[in-house]
Structures are given as structure tokens and as C-alpha cells.
């Protein structure tokens, strides 16, 4: 019987369990440089089958929030080295998540210039800036040469992640950020080879994947999608068709894994007509990680039913550094404190107790 404690081969890695730490933005990297506390935080969670870091911008252009880390400067690479070292010292495995926010950003992060996107369509709503919440603004539509520069930025960031000692990288193609903005017909109104048909909207995703695989090899690259998540005002007229096509087109890369979050399923229709995301499990020919609202019981049931190969846990992992031990022992879990999710220092970051520290 397969459960969360059954080892799993994921690309080049042998995971001792199927409990994945989901990528989570924590806004504790002042000036985009991870803190030494960040090494403590990830090191504390090293018993995970695999840690996926918070999104890390591939370029200064890719930033969208205060205090998020980057992977495009020497200082950032050096700081990340301390993180990978801390995780490896404890026998863990860690992938860096490569992120470009696109229009989910603000001119305050770009010296007053507009953020970029496939098309100049303003997202509804407000976003976090250094001065609190501000209305989104109209992004600048990318030119063809801008697009090829961004693909090169992904390659450089992937190379930097290698220098920083990661075991691989995850391409963030979810949650309404740049790649997702290309995928959806609400945010991509281009009439060149990157817009219009589903095939054209998926092109950028495939070019980024190709560039990153060139650096890391297919066995150390994962990719995350969020077909139903309306976050950052993202919608599609037919997410089922878009994501069936995208996953079929990704199959030939034989990536280490596909990571699909089911977030948004609780708000049917906001990101477009609802469909059963679990269909993607059957289309994808490799390791499939699911995420979104799973606890230990639901996760084991999903593995037992072969709906996924592994499960990524977000807030449970945030609040329980020794989540694997707790699940194994059937121990009580710490309660996450939402007030300390974003920004701050130790409190709510590195001070959640383990079973042995209580």
C-alpha cells in the first residue's frame, strides 16, 4: 500500500517520503537577499521528501512584492548557498522556485516604470507595495525581443540556482504570474505567435521550460500549474482545454514532476468554467504532485487511489518544521499564525516548536 511514507523516485532524486514542502512566499528577504534565518527555516524542514522554496525572481523586472528573494545577483546566490548548505547538512533536498510576477507587480518596484505582461491589461484590485496596498496599474505589453530576453533571464537564473547548490528548480507557471498570464485568454490578447490560439499561448511556457531544461537536464526541473486559481485576476474561457493542451505539450520534456495546485476549486467559476483538475493526472506521464487543502488523511487517500504520487503541504509545513515526524507519529499539529505569514523575523518563521523541543 502506498502512503505518505513510501519512498519515491522524482527525476534524479530518491525521496524518503512523499511529503513535499509547498512553495510559500514569506517576505523576509530585505533588499531581495535571503536572511541567515532563512537557512534556519528551511534547514528545520529538511525531513521533507522535497522542499520547494518560495518564489524567487529571475530578474529585477520579475519582482512583485516587498521582501521577496531573487536569484539574479552574486549576493543573492551567496545567501542561497547558506540555505542549500543548511538543508543538505540535515540530509534534505531543495528545489528553488523560479518566478516572474509580470503584471502582478507595481511601478514602485521598477523605478516608476510599468510592470510587464503579454498584453496591456490592468488587473482588477490592489497589491502590496512598500507603502501598503495600492491599485494595480496597466502593464506594458512585451515586445518579441523582450520575450526572448526573459527566456534568457530564466536560463541565467537557472544557472545561478545551480551555483547556489540547489538540487533542481521548479518553474512557477501558476497563480496569475507571468507564465500564467501568457496561458490565459483573459490576460493574453496578443496577435503574434505568443497569443490567440491555445498553442500560441502555451509557447512561452514551453520556451521557458526548454531553456531551464538546457541548464539542469529534465530530471531536475519541476513545474507548477494552478488551473482553477483566480488569484491576480486571472481567468480563462476554457481552462480545461488550455491545461489539457499545456500538459500534453509538456510531456515530451519528461520533467522530474508536474505540481498541480487544486486551489480555487472552492470558488468554482472565478478562474473560468470549472473542470476536474484531477484529469491532468491521467494526461501527465510522469510524477504528479498535488496540493491544496490536503491533510494527512486526504493525502493518504489520494495516494491510495493513485490520484497523485506525492502531496505538497503549505500552511501545515509553515507551522510544523517536523511535519513528517508528526504525521508519522500521529502527533498534534501546531496552529499556524496568519499574522506572521508575511514579513517579520523569527516570530512565526523559525520559532514553531518541534515535538522534541516542547
For ligand 8OZ, the binding residues in 12-31 under the rule CB under 6 A are: 25
- Per-residue contact string for residues 191-230; x = within reach of ligand 8OZ by CB under 6 A: ----------------------------------------
Considering the candidates 41, 42, 65, 177, report the single residue annotated as catalytic. 177
Closest contact distance (angstroms) between CB of 291 and ligand 8OZ is 11
**Beta-bridge partners for 99:** 57
Considering only 41, 42, 65, 352, the residue that binds ligand 8OZ (CB under 6 A) is 65
CA 334 – CA 355 distance, rounded (Å): 10
Contact flag: residue 55 with ligand 8OZ (CB under 6 A): yes
Distance CA 186, CA 31 (A): 33
In degrees and rounded to multiples of 5, residue 159 shows phi and psi of: -65, -45
Q: Which is nearer to ligand 8OZ, 25 or 76 (CB)?
A: 25
CB of 172 to ligand 8OZ, least distance (A): 6
Of 43 and 69, CB closest to ligand 8OZ: 69
Residue 250 CB burial class (10 angstroms; 0-12, 13-18, ≥19): buried
CB of 254: closest distance to ligand 8OZ in angstroms? 25
- Least separation, in Å, of the C-beta of 175 and ligand 8OZ? 4
Question: How many residues bind ligand 8OZ, per CB under 6 A?
Answer: 6
Pick 150 or 303: Cβ nearer ligand 8OZ:
150
Q: State in angstroms the smallest separation of the CB of 270 from ligand 8OZ.
A: 15
Nearest CA to 242 out of 196, 207, 285 is that of: 196
- Grid cell listed for 228: 482553477
Q: Is 317 noted as a catalytic residue in this protein?
A: no
Residue 56 as a binder of ligand 8OZ (CB under 6 A): the answer is no
Output the CA torsion 69→75→77→80 (10° steps). -60
DSSP string of 283-348, one letter each residue: H--S-EEEESS--HHHHHHHHHTTS-SEEEESHHHHH-TTHHHHHHHTPPPPPP-GGGSSS-SSTT
Candidate residues 29, 44, 175, 291; the one interacting with ligand 8OZ per rule CB under 6 A = 175
Interface with ligand 8OZ, residue 291, by CB under 6 A: no
b/e sequence 145-156, b meaning 16+ C-beta within 10 Å: eebeebbebbbe
Residues assigned a catalytic role: 177
Contacting positions for ligand 8OZ (CB under 6 A): 25, 55, 65, 174-175, 231
Amino acid at each position: 500500500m502506498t502512503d505518505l511514507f513510501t519512498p519515491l523516485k522524482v527525476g534524479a532524486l530518491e525521496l524518503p517520503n512523499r511529503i513535499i514542502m509547498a512553495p510559500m512566499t514569506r517576505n523576509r528577504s530585505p533588499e531581495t537577499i535571503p536572511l541567515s534565518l532563512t537557512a534556519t527555516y528551511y534547514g528545520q524542514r529538511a525531513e521533507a521528501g522535497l522542499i520547494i522554496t518560495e518564489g524567487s525572481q529571475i530578474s529585477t523586472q520579475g519582482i512583485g512584492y516587498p521582501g521577496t528573494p531573487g536569484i539574479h545577483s552574486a549576493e543573492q546566490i551567496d545567501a542561497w548557498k547558506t540555505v542549500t548548505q543548511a538543508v543538505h547538512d540535515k540530509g534534505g533536498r531543495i528545489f528553488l522556485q523560479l518566478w516572474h510576477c509580470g503584471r502582478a507587480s507595481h511601478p514602485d518596484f521598477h523605478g516608476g516604470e510599468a510592470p510587464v505582461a503579454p498584453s496591456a491589461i490592468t488587473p482588477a484590485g490592489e497589491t502590496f507595495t512598500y507603502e501598503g496596498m495600492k491599485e494595480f496599474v496597466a502593464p506594458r505589453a512585451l515586445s518579441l525581443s523582450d520575450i526572448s530576453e526573459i527566456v534568457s533571464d530564466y536560463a541565467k537564473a537557472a544557472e545561478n540556482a545551480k551555483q547556489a547548490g540547489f538540487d533542481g528548480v521548479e518553474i512557477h507557471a501558476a497563480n496569475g504570474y507571468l507564465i500564467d498570464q501568457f496561458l490565459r485568454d483573459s490576460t493574453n490578447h496578443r496577435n503574434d505567435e505568443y497569443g490567440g490560439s491555445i498553442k500560441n499561448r502555451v509557447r512561452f511556457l514551453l520556451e521557458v521550460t526548454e531553456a531551464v531544461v538546457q541548464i539542469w537536464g529534465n530530471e531536475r526541473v519541476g513545474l507548477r500549474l494552478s488551473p482553477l486559481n483566480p488569484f491576480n485576476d486571472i481567468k480563462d474561457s476554457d481552462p480545461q482545454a488550455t491545461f489539457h493542451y499545456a500538459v500534453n505539450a509538456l510531456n515530451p520534456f519528461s520533467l522530474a514532476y508536474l505540481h498541480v495546485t487544486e486551489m480555487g476549486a472552492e470558488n468554482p467559476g472565478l478562474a473560468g468554467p470549472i473542470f476536474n483538475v484531477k484529469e491532468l493526472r491521467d494526461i501527465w506521464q510522469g510524477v504528479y504532485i498535488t496540493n491544496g487543502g490536503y491533510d494527512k488523511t486526504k493525502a493518504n487517500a489520494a495516494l491510495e487511489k493513485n490520484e497523485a504520487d506525492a502531496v505538497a503541504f503549505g500552511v501545515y509545513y509553515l507551522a510544523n518544521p517536523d511535519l513528517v515526524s508528526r504525521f508519522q507519529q500521529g502527533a498534534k499539529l501546531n496552529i499556524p499564525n496568519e499574522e506572521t505569514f508575511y514579513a517579520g523575523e523569527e516570530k512565526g518563521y523559525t520559532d514553531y516548536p518541534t515535538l522534541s523541543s516542547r
